[in-house]
Amino acid sequence: MRFPSLILMTLLLCGSFSVQAKMYKWVDDEGQMHFGDKIPLKYQVKAHDELNESGAVVKHSNAEKTAEEKAQSMREERERKRVELIEKRKKQRDRVLLDTYTTERDLLVARDSRLDAVKSQIRLAESLIKDSNKKIAMMEEKVAGIKASDLDVPENLYKQLENEKHQVEVQSEVMQNHKKNRDGISKQFNDYIARFKILKKEQKAKREKLARERGYTSSSD
């Protein structure tokens, strides 16, 4: 049931509608405003208002979003959550950083300790590679001598040679991983130190501000 605007407002002012009656306001495709106790089906998915007995808006319903608008909303929500998660993790790292280290020197000591451990692992891998290369050179020389004597090279000698070559490959990969780890530790702690300095400056600024505010309050008293 629909009512022209003037008739509806007159009826509302006269109190002709019961308290329980629901009235709605919507706009059609031509931009004309309508009032009624039921909204036509095609306009139920569009923006409309629910009115009380005094004609005041008690509830506003937005137009239903299109498929593209819904997809965009989902993308925006995912991005919002992603940014929120990044910010949350950043705050957690800041808190851990301040709780774990007291001074910049503490960070430097921790960094050097980690780097020393990795350097030891690199030196060990280099030592193993060096030993294996010596063994390989000796075994290759032995194989060459046996062949020069027109003798058959023992199968186990070839196996030992292959094992040592494989050991060189393995330890070379291990050493490269340790070097990447070393570089990662250096970068990580450089970032930690830079962030630590910023956080300490912020803490100092807050303390100074609080001190000024307290001093101002005391002076005012």
pLDDT at 215 over 90: no
Query: pLDDT tens digits, residue range 1-19?
Result: 444 555 455 555 544 444 4
User: What ranges do the domains of the chain cover?
Assistant: 2-61, 67-100, 102-213
The C-alpha torsion from 40 through 42 and 47 to 51, rounded to 10°, is 10
DSSP codes, 22-85 = -EEEEE-TTS-EEEESS--GGGTTS-EEEE-TTS-EEEEEPPPPPHHHHHHHHHHHHHHHHHHH
pLDDT-derived band at 101 (thresholds 50, 70, 90) equals very high
CATH class, 102-213 region: mainly alpha
Which whole-number Å values give the CA distances from 137 to 24, 79, 114, 131, in the listed order?
Answer: 94, 59, 35, 10
Q: Which one has a higher pLDDT value, 70 or 72?
A: 72
Percent of the chain past pLDDT 90, that is, above it, reads 62
Global pTM reads 0.59
Residue 55 and residue 30 in contact, taking contact as beta carbons nearer than 8 Å = no
